Amino acid sequence: MANLKSLAKDTAIYGLSSIIGRFLNYLLVPLYTAKMSAASGDYGIVTNAYAYTALLLALLTYGMETTFFYYANKKGEDSDRVYSTTLITVGFTSLLFVLLVIGCIGWIAPAMGMSYAEHPSYIITMAIVVALDAFQAIIFAYLRYKKQPVKFATLKLLFIFLNIGLNILYFVVLPEMYKQWPNAVGTIYSPNIGVGYVFYLNLVCTSLIMVCMYKELTAVPWRWDWTLLRRMLTYSWPILILSVMGIINQSASQIVFPKFYPGADGATQLGIYGAAIKIAMIMALITQAFRYAYEPAVFGNDRDTKDMAKKKLMQADATKYFLIFTLIAYLAVLAGIDVLKRIIAPDYWEGLRVVPIVMAAEIMMGIYFNLSFWYKLEGIDKEGEKGGVRLTLWGAVFSGIGCAMLLLVNWLFIPQYSYMACAWAGVAAYGSAMVLSYIVGRFWYPELMPQFPLREMALYTVLAAVLSAAALMVKIDNEWLGTAYRTVFLLLFCGVVFKREHMGRMLAKAPVIGRFFNAQ
């Protein structure tokens, strides 16, 4: 219970920074969609470019975040040496990547399609950004390992504030000033750059955060241990496949969409989809916040013991409550969809029909992440025939099958159903990976798989599905009445959870508000 409380506290800090950061970052969505019409296809370029960067980030970190946690918490390892070795290695490969992109830009830009051939600087800029992000990912992992969620959150929010401020300056303030004083403002702003400012400003902000990480760069002596690295790479390469497959499941639709739906209309449709799924990303936000706290808590739990039973109990409880709160978030987004849609410009609203589908896929992805620990954790305590790195190969298998499902659905249905195929492809990908992970773990490795409260989890899932169907089935033209109607179903679900999970007992012990609840 103490570990679960610590997990909840860290998740709250990571989650608060992520929620505030994502909320603030959402300010860029109405800004971009207001300044880039759906018909222009410019937001489709942004969507496509950031899908590539997500995939490249997974490649450039090649599972070293998880590997760092594994070896930093492994008994007998020098955590400082693990950190410095990881940092130097990822830094070197990131630099090599940037040099390769610059050297090969002549054929990379045309091959990517869209309008990159006319703007190769977009690709070079984002290559530098993703290289810095990969390097910083290890530093952020180090902050999580050192239990410094406040600094972690501060740096994340600082990036958001810088990015928003500069985007407002270059997309709102300077364009208006340019109309009045073109000669003076023209030294720092050019209307011809347009969507390029999205990428250039990202580079500026990422570089400034790098400067703020000076203390973490000098926190330990820089030592590179080749023997240690070889063992780390042996552990990490299946994690790399797992991470890449996971990112492909998240981003492949935006990457392949122009191939299956080419032309200017394809860029328009991709922009509409990219804007609409921003509303659904509350699920990705919750999953990310949970992961930031969950990985160090689980890997570091009982470091000097081999009490797997305690870890499995923690995983089972955490998975159930993760499902509960994501289902609440799901119903909350549906209830407030008429308010949330104001985030994007009206010419993007036709894409809102994908929001429930994408949120469902994100919930499946979160459950799949929780199920992944049966093959990640065993390597800490036993490196025999069933332990160690061999088990991590299962993650690559599950994600690979999910990725194949996603690409198949996209290939078959994008030409006919446009971005709706992308939404359902995510459900097919995460759903298949989630089910396979549970089946293999439950029946082939039962000693590693926690006993999840499946009956309760199924009850909450079915209840949320029924309530969401009832909420969406009735169309109400008045937005306020529609929101009130859908909120009733949200409150009904919360009431059932409150009663079944005995929340009254927990809240009765809380300071200040405890007197309003009677312990049962």
Please tell me the distance from the alpha carbon of residue 203 to that of residue 311, in angstroms, as a whole number: 40
Rg (C-alpha) for the chain, rounded Å, is 23
Distances (CA, A) of 473 to 107, 334, 465, 514: 50, 12, 12, 38
Q: Which two tokens stand for residue 158?
A: 């600082």
Which of the two residues, 325 and 135, has the higher pLDDT score?
135
- The mean pLDDT value for 489-510 works out to 73
In this predicted structure, what is the pLDDT of residue 385? 45
Q: Which of 462, 48, 403 is nearest to 247 (CA)?
A: 403
Given a contact cutoff of 8 angstroms between Cβ atoms, the answer to whether 138 and 72 are in contact is no
105-119, 157-171, 318-332, 463-477: range with lowest mean pLDDT? 105-119
Instruction: For residue 293, tell me if it sits in a domain.
Output: yes
Chain position carrying tokens 């750059």: 193
Q: Which two tokens stand for residue 347?
A: 């010419």
Please tell me the distance from the alpha carbon of residue 419 to that of residue 118, in angstroms, as a whole number: 26
Instruction: For residue 484, tell me if it sits in a domain.
Output: no
Distances (CA, A) of 314 to 5, 54, 222: 10, 30, 36
Q: Which of 402, 354, 409 is nearest to 249 (CA)?
A: 402
Instruction: For residue 504, tell me if it sits in a domain.
Output: no
Q: 473: Cβ–Cβ under 8 A, 6 or more apart, which residues?
A: none
In this predicted structure, what is the pLDDT of residue 192? 85
Tell whether the model's pLDDT for residue 282 goes beyond 80: no
Which of the two residues, 359 and 507, has the higher pLDDT score?
359
DSSP states along 110-168: HHH-TTGGG-HHHHHHHHHHHHHHHHHHHHHHHHHHTT-HHHHHHHHHHHHHHHHHHHH
Instruction: For residue 458, tell me if it sits in a domain.
Output: yes
Instruction: For residue 300, tell me if it sits in a domain.
Output: yes
Helix, strand and coil in the chain, % to nearest 5: 85, 0, 15
Chain position carrying tokens 């290559």: 127
State the pLDDT confidence band at 342, using cuts at 50, 70 and 90.
Answer: confident
Please tell me the distance from the alpha carbon of residue 404 to that of residue 245, in angstroms, as a whole number: 9
Please tell me the distance from the alpha carbon of residue 403 to that of residue 401, in angstroms, as a whole number: 5
Q: Which of 246, 250, 276 is nearest to 44 (CA)?
A: 276
- CA 339-360-447 angle, to 5 degrees, is 145
pLDDT, one tens digit per residue, over 430-457 is 899 899 988 888 888 777 677 888 899 9
Please tell me the distance from the alpha carbon of residue 437 to that of residue 374, in angstroms, as a whole number: 9
Instruction: For residue 258, tell me if it sits in a domain.
Output: yes
Amino acid letter, 480: W
pLDDT, one tens digit per residue, over 407-422 is 999 999 999 999 899 9
Q: Which of 287, 330, 339, 336 is nearest to 14 (CA)?
A: 287
69-78, 358-367, 370-379, 468-477: range with lowest mean pLDDT? 370-379
In this predicted structure, what is the pLDDT of residue 9? 57
Q: How many domains does the chain have?
A: 1
Given a contact cutoff of 8 angstroms between Cβ atoms, the answer to whether 208 and 169 are in contact is no
Tell whether the model's pLDDT for residue 466 goes beyond 90: yes
Which of the two residues, 385 and 80, has the higher pLDDT score?
80
Chain position carrying tokens 């808590």: 297
- The mean pLDDT value for 125-147 works out to 90
State the pLDDT confidence band at 305, using cuts at 50, 70 and 90.
Answer: very low
pLDDT, one tens digit per residue, over 42-85 is 788 888 888 888 888 888 988 888 888 778 877 667 788 889 99
Tell whether the model's pLDDT for residue 462 goes beyond 90: yes
Q: Which two tokens stand for residue 519?
A: 């312990």
In this predicted structure, what is the pLDDT of residue 505? 53
Tell whether the model's pLDDT for residue 364 goes beyond 80: yes
State what percent of residues in the chain have pLDDT above 70.
80
Q: Which two tokens stand for residue 242?
A: 């797992």
pLDDT mean across residues, the chain: 80
Instruction: For residue 506, tell me if it sits in a domain.
Output: no
Please tell me the distance from the alpha carbon of residue 177 to that of residue 518, in angstroms, as a whole number: 60
Chain position carrying tokens 């109990």: 313
Tell whether the model's pLDDT for residue 2 goes beyond 90: no
Query: What is the DSSP-derived secondary structure letter of residue 475?
Result: -
Q: 145: Cβ–Cβ under 8 A, 6 or more apart, which residues?
A: 68, 69, 72, 73, 79, 83, 296, 300
DSSP states along 483-500: HHHHHHHHHHHHHHHHHH
pLDDT, one tens digit per residue, over 188-213 is 888 888 888 899 999 999 999 999 99
Q: Which two tokens stand for residue 42?
A: 């410019």
Instruction: For 44-62, give one letter per residue: b (16+ CB within 10 A) or e.
Output: bbbbbbbbbbbbbbbbbbb
State the pLDDT confidence band at 509, using cuts at 50, 70 and 90.
Answer: very low
Tell whether the model's pLDDT for residue 519 goes beyond 50: no
- C-alpha neighbours within 13 Å on the C-beta side of residue 483: 10
Determine the structural domain holding residue 433 and report its residue range.
Answer: 2-473
Q: Map 359-377 to HEC letters.
A: HHHHHHHHHHHHHCHHHHC
Please tell me the distance from the alpha carbon of residue 239 to that of residue 474, in angstroms, as a whole number: 45
Instruction: For residue 492, tell me if it sits in a domain.
Output: no
Q: Which of 367, 375, 376 is nearest to 435 (CA)?
A: 367
Length of the chain: 520
In this predicted structure, what is the pLDDT of residue 468? 92
pLDDT, one tens digit per residue, over 96-135 is 999 999 999 988 888 876 677 778 888 899 999 999 999 9
